[in-house]
A and B are shown apart, each in its own frame.
Chain A
Amino acid sequence: MSGLGRVVRSGVRRRRVQTVVVGLVTAAAVTATVLGAGLLVASQAPFDDAFAAQRGAHLTVRADSGAVTEAQLVASAATPGVVAAAGPYRVLVVAFTERGGMRTPPLTVVARADPGGPVDRIELAGGRWPAGPDEIVLSGGAVRVPPGSRLATPGGAEFTVVGTARSVSDTAGAWVLPSAVGVLDGPDTADGYQMLYRFTDARTATEVATGRDAVVATLPSGAVTGARSWLDVRQQAVEDAAVFVPFLVAFALLGIVMALLVVGTVVAGTVGAATRRIGILKALGCTPAGVVRAFVAQTLLPAAVGAVAGTVTGNLIALPVLAETEEIYGSANTTIAWWVTVLATGGVLAVVTLTAWTAALRAGRLRTVDAIAVGRASGPARGRWASRLAARLPVARPVGLGLARPFARPARTIAILLAVATGAAAVTFATGLAASLLRIQTALTQDVADVTVTGDPDAGPVAAPTADPAAVLAAIDAQPGTRARYGLTQAPGTVAGIADPVSVTTITGDAAWDGFEMVSGRWFAAPGEAVVGGPLLTATGARIGDTVTVRIEGTPLRLRIVGEVFESVMAVFTGTATPTGRNPSEYRVALAPDTDAGAYAQALTGALAGRGLTARPSGGETDPLLLVVEGLTATLTLLLLAVAALGVLNMLVLDLRDRVHDLGVHKALGMTPAQTIAMVVASVAAVGLVGGLLGVPAGVAMHRLVLPTMAANGGLHLPETLLDVYGPLILTALALGGPVTALLGALLPAGWAARTRTATALRSE
């Protein structure tokens, strides 16, 4: 082994703390970078991945069954440019009724013998494909009805839900066997054919339009009633993903920047602390270039080991998170792209190399005599004013000595400050994000009820309970433990100029407590008033104070908009009876504190006996997207905290190494181990507190910036109540997180300082 090789090896072994810290920080940096960058890429591409895996349809054509024959549609598959086709499938649009009387929105039901085929392979998410004419599989995104539930057609036929599935091309809301078409068909069902095509070229709207025109030309005039491009479906999917892309961007960037910042300061500090060693090597005849190479290698060795560990950890952590995104998008991609891993790892190692090289070059260029003198000569007279001031403070002398220390090495103090402030900002942001997302979920589901009362599931499908709402509400009011309650019934409606259906919810009683968040205006109070979701206002161009006409089963209902409620879909909430005149199909109850929901529900069911209603404790369902975001938040937060603490640890170790001789003098003069720990801890406590005080407002500002952006990308307006998540107690706790992080990083060096033998320290140069 060459002389420089031995120097590198001994440096790695002798400077164990630095070696370990460089390795750990690099590992954390690579983990954060791989995770952040990987999820960033994964969030952009899940649709494309799923589309390719499921051989999605470039064009979905609906044809009038009265204007075209199945044979003509089969023949259209031979159109030039078509590489694969599937169908024709019979398609019907049906609004089902669930047990309990809730009606589903009108569902596009496609009759397919099996989920496979050359185009649009349906992915079963749960359950199985229908085996008989009375079974149905629902699309996961259409309605949430668990397998085993029964749905009734308007004609009275019943279907059992046997599974949930997903079509990446969004070709159906439900699937049945072709033999079920006769059962489904009724006077209220629209009927037609569906044909699916894949084209040779379909990357642009023009190419898809060319393919569509070619197909349409082979069919009788007027046969095609609708044709949907895969690019439109893609746009919709990307819009959904866009809700969490800004979050990923912000957090991934924060993680990457912080990790690189700490890697940079750790490496620069480590090399800087070795200046005297570099001077000695030069005095022994090593060239500056050789010395620089040796120190870069000395830093890269642990960094490379850390990078490998970080790569593995980042990919392992990404597995469950990506599995959740797969659940959301139906994507088959559950691993981070290899090139993302290579790029992230290479990027971090490049920063390590650059920082080490720059710091070593500076030290290498020092005059040999000056480099050797580093650490022995008196340092520059920095921070003496602070020392004098601290001596006058009414604190124990070791604490005063510690408090003055940060001013003696301002560069290191700034590095510690940055590490702690960034960590505090990350935790503040993550805490606020998690709290806001939870509130957003509650506001979107509008269900904080403790008990739900619905039609008896064993009584068979009914349009709506026949019980008198006033009597039901009176029975609920009479039940001990009732705090608030209301009844609701939902019906699909239409608004002129909007193609998609509008959900109209009629509320009996006061529902404002049930998680509804007002963006602007007020809750409805009088007949003819309504509150609506933002998407409806956007789609219609209406404003608060305007009147809209909603048609329900063909009958118009005029409603004056008095407020905007936080909603992600086109929804109307009103106390006005709908033209259908149905009774509430569901009642929601909030309980007084300490009321047992199970016992209450049982008692209420007994009280409602004979009315066809059953009370059940409400089960909260967590949105999988929220799980992804919260899991990611927690992981990255822990990583950043660890990196921040490691940054503090490294700086302190360097500082203590520099002044180990002074430490020996203190101990020789009678400083006890406890006083030594107090001095070291005090030297970072104030910096940690300042870091916390700087980081917390930065985290709050990020939260205020990122959350509304996230919401706006998803087409939502966030009310102030969903952003106002930082109370005085939380802010205080977060600010104290700064000194706690600093103390965590200081514990190890403080213990080391306390244990250092006085005689050994006095001999140190």
Chain B
Amino acid sequence: MTDPVIDVRGVTRRYGEGPPALHDVSLTVRPGECVAVLGPSGSGKSTLLNLLAALDRPDAGTVTVAGTRLEKLGEAASARFRRAHVGLVFQFFNLLDDLTVLENVLLPAQLAGAPARASRAHAASLLDSLGIARHAQAYPGRLSGGERQRVAVARALINRPALLLADEPTGALDTASGEDVRRLLDELHRSGQTIVLVTHDLRLAEASASRTIRLRDGRVEVRR
């Protein structure tokens, strides 16, 4: 049996004096799985995603992603881990306005020091396969929401990450664009990409996820 891409054990994360944002959470995701994390606001979904992306560190427990223990990584090591193993898709796209679509997509590869020629070819291929090749030299401000999220997905995939983390990827989109992104993630899942989705969107979870986890008050409430 192959090693899990994600192995979270007994993780607790607390901010200040209040109740923990996450309390004793454990989770395993195998390669090729698409797991949807559901839950109301404040349930700890984004905290879990931050821990998986090495954007934050747990107060207790261990987080292992793609074979790397994340809880003790420093800032530089976290950055190197992210660009090597994780692709991030955000609700509000987080594209850089002063870079073109192609430059946005290329940025993680350039930060990782990947060969320029190969990166450009891979970026072109991604833009093409996501149907946004004609916007390569455009700036994100001119694109529709769905197109921007496709650019964000292309950017997340440029370094061929073991794990794609998507935080409310349809949350800022209209119905048609949301459907577009749902189809895209489904295709990615079918192609074997490991994905963790944080979402309120039940239709997205049902359409794309092979498994769902429901969080409430920082604890895992339901696993399916």
| A interacts with B | yes
Q: Which residues of A contact B (CB under 8 A)?
A: 378-379, 381, 383-384, 387-388, 391, 396-398, 404, 408, 661-662, 664-675, 754-755, 757-759, 762
Contact of A759 among B50, B83, B107, B139 (CB under 8 A): B50
Known: A381-B139, A670-B83, A758-B55. A665 touches B75 (CB 8 A): no
B98 touches A383 (CB 8 A): yes
Q: Could you list 10 A-B pairs, sorted by A, with CB under 8 Å?
A: A379-B97, A387-B103, A391-B103, A665-B94, A668-B55, A669-B88, A669-B155, A675-B79, A758-B55, A759-B55
Bound form: Cα–Cα A755–B90 in Å: 22
Kindly list chain A residues whose C-beta atoms are within 8 Å of the C-beta of B97.
Answer: 378-379, 381
Q: Which of B4-12, B108-116, B211-219 sits within the interface?
A: B108-116
A16 smallest CB distance to B (angstroms): 21
Q: Does B153 contact A (CB under 8 A)?
A: no
Kindly list chain B residues whose C-beta atoms are within 8 Å of the C-beta of A675.
Answer: 79, 111
Q: Does B222 contact A (CB under 8 A)?
A: no
Kindly list chain B residues whose C-beta atoms are within 8 Å of the C-beta of A670.
Answer: 79-80, 82-84, 108, 111-112, 159
A619 smallest CB distance to B (angstroms): 58
Contact count A vs B, C-beta below 8 Å: 79
Q: Which of A388, A754, A755 neighbours the largest number of chain B CB atoms within 10 Å of its CB? A: A388
Bound form: Cα–Cα A391–B88 in Å: 23
Kindly list chain B residues whose C-beta atoms are within 8 Å of the C-beta of A669.
Answer: 82-83, 88, 107-108, 111, 155
Contact with A along B81-102 (1 / 0, CB 8 A): 0111000101000101111100
Contact of A404 among B55, B94, B98 (CB under 8 A): B98
B63 smallest CB distance to A (angstroms): 14
Kindly list chain A residues whose C-beta atoms are within 8 Å of the C-beta of B79.
Answer: 667, 670-673, 675
B91 smallest CB distance to A (angstroms): 11
Q: Does B56 contact A (CB under 8 A)?
A: yes
Q: Does B127 contact A (CB under 8 A)?
A: no
A672 touches B80 (CB 8 A): yes
A262 smallest CB distance to B (angstroms): 27
Q: Which residues of B contact A (CB under 8 A)?
A: 50, 53, 55-56, 75-76, 78-80, 82-84, 88, 90, 94, 96-100, 103, 107-108, 110-113, 139, 141, 155, 159
B175 smallest CB distance to A (angstroms): 24
B94 touches A387 (CB 8 A): no
Q: What are the 5 A-B residue pairs with the smallest beta carbon separation, nearest first? A: A670-B83, A397-B110, A672-B79, A759-B55, A672-B76
Known: A668-B94, A673-B75, A754-B75. A381 touches B80 (CB 8 A): no
Contact of B111 among A383, A661, A671 (CB under 8 A): A671
B139 touches A668 (CB 8 A): no
Bound form: Cα–Cα A671–B107 in Å: 9
Known: A668-B88, A670-B112. A397 touches B98 (CB 8 A): no
A23 smallest CB distance to B (angstroms): 31
Bound form: Cα–Cα A379–B141 in Å: 10
Bound form: Cα–Cα A378–B93 in Å: 13
Q: Report the nearest B residue to A382, measured CB to CB.
A: B98
Kindly list chain A residues whose C-beta atoms are within 8 Å of the C-beta of B80.
Answer: 670, 672
Contact of A381 among B56, B84, B141 (CB under 8 A): B141
Kindly list chain B residues whose C-beta atoms are within 8 Å of the C-beta of A673.
Answer: 75-76, 79
A374 smallest CB distance to B (angstroms): 14
Bound form: Cα–Cα A391–B99 in Å: 9
B107 touches A397 (CB 8 A): yes
B67 smallest CB distance to A (angstroms): 18
* Apart from the given pairs A669-B108, A762-B94, 15 other A-B contacts in the complex at a CB distance below 8 Å: A379-B97, A381-B98, A381-B139, A387-B98, A391-B99, A396-B113, A398-B111, A665-B96, A669-B83, A670-B108, A670-B111, A673-B75, A673-B76, A758-B78, A759-B56
B9 smallest CB distance to A (angstroms): 21
Bound form: Cα–Cα A668–B92 in Å: 14
Kindly list chain B residues whose C-beta atoms are within 8 Å of the C-beta of A388.
Answer: 100, 103
B74 smallest CB distance to A (angstroms): 8
Kindly list chain A residues whose C-beta atoms are within 8 Å of the C-beta of B50.
Answer: 759
A375 smallest CB distance to B (angstroms): 13
Kindly list chain B residues whose C-beta atoms are within 8 Å of the C-beta of A398.
Answer: 111
Q: Report the nearest A residue to B167, measured CB to CB.
A: A762
Bound form: Cα–Cα A667–B79 in Å: 7
Kindly list chain B residues whose C-beta atoms are within 8 Å of the C-beta of A384.
Answer: 98, 139
Q: Report the nearest B residue to A662, measured CB to CB.
A: B96
A674 touches B82 (CB 8 A): no
Q: Report the nearest B residue to A386, measured CB to CB.
A: B98
B76 smallest CB distance to A (angstroms): 4
A397 touches B96 (CB 8 A): no
Kindly list chain A residues whose C-beta atoms are within 8 Å of the C-beta of B112.
Answer: 670
Bound form: Cα–Cα A555–B99 in Å: 89
Kindly list chain A residues whose C-beta atoms are within 8 Å of the C-beta of B84.
Answer: 670
Kindly list chain A residues whose C-beta atoms are within 8 Å of the C-beta of B139.
Answer: 381, 384
Bound form: Cα–Cα A584–B75 in Å: 78
Bound form: Cα–Cα A666–B82 in Å: 11
A387 touches B111 (CB 8 A): no
A595 smallest CB distance to B (angstroms): 57
Contact of B55 among A661, A666, A762 (CB under 8 A): A762
B78 smallest CB distance to A (angstroms): 8
Kindly list chain B residues whose C-beta atoms are within 8 Å of the C-beta of A408.
Answer: 98
Contact of B76 among A378, A662, A674, A757 (CB under 8 A): A674
Kindly list chain A residues whose C-beta atoms are within 8 Å of the C-beta of B159.
Answer: 670
B55 touches A397 (CB 8 A): no
Bound form: Cα–Cα A195–B66 in Å: 103
